[in-house]
Amino acid sequence: MSILINKDTRVLVQGITGREGRFHAEQMQKYGTKIVAGVTPGKGGQEVLGVPVYDTVKEAVAEQQIDASIIFVPAAAAADAALEAAHAGIPLVVLITEGIPTLDMVAAVKEIKDLGVRLIGGNCPGLISAEESKLGIMPGHVFKKGKVGLISRSGTLTYEAAAALSEAGLGTTTTVGIGGDPIIGTTFKDLLPLFNEDPETEAVVVIGEIGGSDEEEAAAWIKEHMTKPVVGFIGGRSAPKGKRMGHAGAIIMGDVGTPESKLKAFAEAGIPVADTIDEIVELVKERLG
């Protein structure tokens, strides 16, 4: 099985008439994603890639059955676009846009959660259920259907890990790029229970990075509740304190978010941590026996 999305998921693309939205919508269609509608204010009545375009999400939902929305909207309007989708009753919202003002995200994340909607991102590559459906900008060809769930704060490392798992014959069930901003809609801890309950996921790989406390919180949950083997990887371990590395959320402040604190938490939870992408594969094989 997969989590969150599958071959039957019906998708809305917000910002489908823009350059990024149209390009990635086409790539998603080629992968097999069922895109049933698009939204761009002022462009209602048009058709893009064989998909009807609406002025508002509310109009799209009134005419189409929609299970998920993916957002390719400029940063200044992206949080509002996510709120529009959530208020229209779409249960899963994937926010690709980066550079969204942090205060916008603080308010939007709380409101969206209060509505009972799952938000992935922002500043994320999206998610993909291998050989079924893709909501995002991931290179679909590196994902082969298999038995490993993958959650990551990094984009490129996600693709490298997925490719390595595919080449090793392990493959993936669903891969979720949660995003690297300080404020995101879904964390490692939010997704681990879904993989733990998925009968086809036999192991999970968690790719974290310096900054924040998401990895420590995930390790605590894994220690108490996880019944499946987990392998970790921490990016940015050589970063000096106080220096931002890559993602907006990848910054160490004092003793919070340090590589040491994350490695300690993983060790206490019995999670082996790989030093390289290839070692991720070796550790997964060992854990699966």
* Exposure of 239 in the CB half-sphere (CA atoms within 13 A): 22
Same domain, 162 and 112: no
Model confidence band, residue 41 (pLDDT cutoffs 50, 70, 90)? very high
Domain membership flag for residue 133: no
What is the SS3 assignment for 204? strand
The predicted pLDDT at position 154 comes to 86
Model confidence band, residue 248 (pLDDT cutoffs 50, 70, 90)? very low
Give the CATH number, domain containing residue 184. Answer: 3.40.50.261
Domain membership flag for residue 262: yes
Distance from C-alpha of 216 to C-alpha of 74, rounded to nearest angstrom? 32
Domain membership flag for residue 260: yes
For the ranges 116-130, 163-177, 204-218, which has the lowest average pLDDT? 204-218
Model confidence band, residue 238 (pLDDT cutoffs 50, 70, 90)? low
Residue 115 has phi, psi (to 5 degrees) of -85, -5
Domain membership flag for residue 272: yes
Same domain, 186 and 279: yes
Question: Span 276-287, mean pLDDT?
Answer: 97
Res 233 pLDDT > 80: yes
Tell me the pLDDT of the chain averaged across its residues. Answer: 93
pLDDT digits (tens, 9 = 90+) for 113-144: 999 999 999 999 999 999 999 999 999 999 99
Domain membership flag for residue 161: yes
Domain membership flag for residue 129: no
Same domain, 207 and 115: no
Same domain, 33 and 160: no
Considering its fold, how many domains does the chain have in total?
Answer: 2
Question: Span 179-183, mean pLDDT?
Answer: 90
Res 255 pLDDT > 70: no
* Catalytic residue numbers, as ranges: 247
Same domain, 167 and 256: yes
pLDDT digits (tens, 9 = 90+) for 98-116: 999 999 999 999 999 999 9
Domain membership flag for residue 248: yes
CA 89 to chain centroid: 20
Model confidence band, residue 153 (pLDDT cutoffs 50, 70, 90)? very high
Strand order from edge to edge, sheet including 34-39? 47-48, 51-54, 34-39, 10-14, 68-71, 92-95, 118-121
In sequence order, what DSSP letters do the residues of 232-269 get, joined into one string? Answer: EEEETTTPPTT---SSTT---BTTBT-HHHHHHHHHHT
Same domain, 279 and 194: yes
Res 240 pLDDT > 90: no
Same domain, 158 and 213: yes
The predicted pLDDT at position 234 comes to 92
The predicted pLDDT at position 128 comes to 98
Domain membership flag for residue 24: yes
The predicted pLDDT at position 220 comes to 97
The predicted pLDDT at position 260 comes to 87
Task: Please state the pTM of the whole predicted model.
Answer: 0.93
Give me the domain span that covers residue 238.
Answer: 139-288
Res 254 pLDDT > 70: no
